[in-house]
Amino acid sequence: MTVSSVIQLKNILLKYGAFTAIDNVSVNFREGEFFALLGPSGCGKSSLLRIVAGFVEPTSGEVLLDGRDMTNVPARQRPINMMFQSYALFPHMSVEQNVRYGLEMAKLPEAEIKARVRDILETTHLSSMARRRPNQLSGGQRQRVALARALVMRPRVLLLDEPLGALDKKLREAMQLELKRLQHEMGLTFVVVTHDQEEALVMADRIALMRAGRIEQIGSASELYERPASRFVADFIGRTNFFEGVGKGGKIRIEQLGELVGDVEAVGSVTYSIRPEWIRLFNSQPADYENCLQGTVEEVNYHGQGENVMVRLPGQSQLVTVLKPANELIPATVVNNGKIWVAWNGRDARVLSH
């Protein structure tokens, strides 16, 4: 089944003098999906969001909403709402007054205002706090008020610019699930900007990873994690170990280390990537793995679900990180400065061309 695109961005270019903030970006946001614009600071993701909202006009390119050109349409005339990190709640108004403010400005009938406000307060679990003011709420509750205020307007698309950045880790994780629940229940298109890759992986149906004004790769969380298109993607999404080498005949020759079996036919200079969770540790050389290397344990860090074991391999400047699960059936004995074998199969590695 083909899912229609609510918003289409075509060849968006944004320049400030000689500086190019967004470099010829084309991307679609689909009906009812949770889409994340992900990337490091300064990559252009917030600028792209502001172009969609109508706060910034691109140097060139098109913004289409349901196939209609909105490139030069002012923000106030677009059926799009935007939620900022600061929340910007009116401190002298109650939760209910904050939520109904936009509807009053739109001059909707009082009966409709009351019905909409009641429904959205229930949906966002704020009904019991309707009379409170922002200074009487927690950070997560204020975040939900800002969200309710945006959603009550029934926008075609809701844009969220780092909406969870001001929250502590535990509350941020809870709100990620809450945002996903609301988006699913209401069936709206959400587009969120974030620099937090875990946040994007948890919430988004699709992710566009940006770098220096361009999109490096678009796909689901599993596609970006398991099939990265470049070293940048593999490094930004999750943790991984890299080896630089030369590919030939399905194997990668690493200087001072020998040959490693990879997942594709690679030729020339390549980067070999293997995730920590795909590596196993052994006290003696195993017989049933395609890649087996002996190294020295330099550091062990406990993290509840297991241990991160840092291993020095011969001739390598960087340590190899191995995730040793707590529930391993036959765990290897790991001792600082002790010898250890690291092993993995070629199908679990990724070979990335330069």
Q: Which residue has the higher pLDDT, 321 or 141?
A: 321
Q: Give whichever of 76-85, 138-147, 269-278 has the largest mean pLDDT.
A: 269-278
Of the candidates 190, 263, 192, 195, the one whose C-alpha atom is nearest the C-alpha of residue 228 is 263
DSSP result, 163-187 = TTTTS-HHHHHHHHHHHHHHHHHHT
Residues 194 and 259 in one domain: no
Residues 246 and 124 in one domain: no
Task: State pLDDT tens for residues 245-301.
Answer: 998 877 899 988 899 998 767 778 899 999 999 999 999 999 899 999 999 999 999
Task: State pLDDT tens for residues 153-181.
Answer: 989 999 999 887 767 788 788 888 888 98
Domain span at residue 78? 5-231
What is the mean predicted confidence (pLDDT) over 311-319? 92
Residues 340 and 198 in one domain: no
CA-to-CA distance for 212 and 39, rounded, in angstroms? 9
What is the mean predicted confidence (pLDDT) over 56-67? 96
Whether the CB-CB separation of 252 and 266 falls below 8 Å is answered with: yes
pLDDT-derived band at 234 (thresholds 50, 70, 90) equals: very high
Residues 178 and 57 in one domain: yes
Last residue of a domain, one of 231, 252, 270: 231
In this predicted structure, what is the pLDDT of residue 339? 96
Last residue of a domain, one of 231, 247, 276: 231
In this predicted structure, what is the pLDDT of residue 2? 53
Task: State pLDDT tens for residues 39-56.
Answer: 999 999 999 999 999 999
Residues 152 and 22 in one domain: yes
Q: What is the pTM of this model?
A: 0.88
Residues 253 and 224 in one domain: no
What is the CATH number for 343?
2.40.50.100
In this predicted structure, what is the pLDDT of residue 3? 67
In this predicted structure, what is the pLDDT of residue 108? 94
Residues 186 and 257 in one domain: no
Last residue of a domain, one of 231, 250, 269: 231
In this predicted structure, what is the pLDDT of residue 83? 84
* Mutual angle of helices 139-151 and 110-123, in 10-degree steps: 140
Residues 248 and 140 in one domain: no
Residues 29 and 141 in one domain: yes
Q: What is the mean pLDDT of the chain?
A: 91
What is the CATH number for 9?
3.40.50.300
Residues 73 and 178 in one domain: yes
CA-to-CA distance for 32 and 51, rounded, in angstroms? 20
Q: Coil, helix or strand for 113?
A: helix
Residues 267 and 222 in one domain: no
In this predicted structure, what is the pLDDT of residue 337? 92
What is the mean predicted confidence (pLDDT) over 235-253? 90
Q: How far is CA 347 from CA 227, 276, 296, 329, 350, in A?
A: 12, 14, 25, 22, 8
Q: Please say if the pLDDT value at position 1 is more than 50.
A: no
CA-to-CA distance for 23 and 37, rounded, in angstroms? 15
- How many domains does the chain divide into? 2
In this predicted structure, what is the pLDDT of residue 354? 60
pLDDT-derived band at 345 (thresholds 50, 70, 90) equals: very high
Phi-psi region of 67 (alpha: psi -120 to 50; beta: other; left: phi over 0): left
In this predicted structure, what is the pLDDT of residue 218? 97
Residues 51 and 136 in one domain: yes
